[in-house]
Amino acid sequence: MADQSTPTANPVHDLGPAERRPRVALVNPGGEANINGQFVLGRLSAFLTSLESGESPRGRLRERILIAPCPGSDQARNVAEQTRQAFYRVEVGHGADGMDALPQVFLINPSDDERSSACLFGLAAVIEHPEHMNGDAPWLPAWREAGGENLYLKAGRAGELQPALCERLFRALVTFLTHAEVIQDISLAEEEDDLHYFGEKQVFELTSDARGLFVFRQDPGHWLHGGDLIGYLYDRGTGALIKEFKTPVSGLLTSIRRNPLVEAGSPVATVSRLERED
Q: What is the pLDDT of residues 123-176, one digit of tens each?
A: 999 999 876 554 556 677 788 888 899 999 999 999 889 999 999 999 999 999
Burial class of residue 243 in the structure, from the number of CB atoms within 10 Å of its CB (0-12 exposed, 13-18 middle, 19+ buried): middle
Q: Is residue 233 included in any domain, yes or no?
A: yes
d(CA 240, CA 75): 47
Residue 262: is its pLDDT beyond 80? yes
Q: Is residue 4 included in any domain, yes or no?
A: no
Q: Is residue 3 included in any domain, yes or no?
A: no
Burial class of residue 177 in the structure, from the number of CB atoms within 10 Å of its CB (0-12 exposed, 13-18 middle, 19+ buried): buried
Q: Give ∠ CA 83-128-275 in degrees, rounded to 5.
A: 155
Q: What contacts 112, CB < 8 A, 6 or more positions away?
A: none
Residue at which a domain ends, from 163, 196, 229:
196
In this predicted structure, what is the pLDDT of residue 80? 86
151 plus 134 within the same structural domain: yes
* Stretch 268-272: mean pLDDT: 94
131 plus 146 within the same structural domain: yes
192 plus 208 within the same structural domain: no
Residue at which a domain ends, from 196, 211, 246:
196
150 plus 219 within the same structural domain: no
Question: Of 89, 137, 129, nearest to 106 (Cα)?
Answer: 129
221 plus 92 within the same structural domain: no
164 plus 26 within the same structural domain: yes
Instruction: Sort residue 203 into left (φ over 0), alpha (ψ -120 to 50) or beta.
Output: beta
Q: State the amino acid at position 100 in one-letter form.
A: D
Residue 2: is its pLDDT beyond 60? no
For the chain, the domain total comes to: 2
Domain containing 265 — which CATH number?
2.40.50.100
d(CA 26, CA 69): 8
Which H helix or E strand runs over 148?
A: none
143 plus 220 within the same structural domain: no
Cα-to-chain-centroid distance, residue 118: 12
Q: Is residue 7 included in any domain, yes or no?
A: no
Q: What percent of the chain has pLDDT over 90?
A: 68
Alpha helices by DSSP H, listed for 54-162, are 76-83, 112-118, 140-145
Residue at which a domain ends, from 196, 220, 252:
196
Range of the domain at 126: 13-196
In this predicted structure, what is the pLDDT of residue 193? 65
Domain containing 55 — which CATH number?
3.40.630.10
57 plus 168 within the same structural domain: yes
Q: Is residue 1 included in any domain, yes or no?
A: no
118 plus 169 within the same structural domain: yes
* Stretch 40-59: mean pLDDT: 90
In this predicted structure, what is the pLDDT of residue 1? 39
139 plus 174 within the same structural domain: yes
Question: Of 175, 202, 164, nearest to 121 (Cα)?
Answer: 175
Beta bridge partners of 26: 67, 90
Q: Is residue 47 included in any domain, yes or no?
A: yes
100 plus 151 within the same structural domain: yes
Q: What percent of the chain has pLDDT over 70?
A: 90
pTM for the model stands at 0.85
159 plus 22 within the same structural domain: yes
Residue 239: is its pLDDT beyond 50? yes
* Stretch 43-56: mean pLDDT: 90
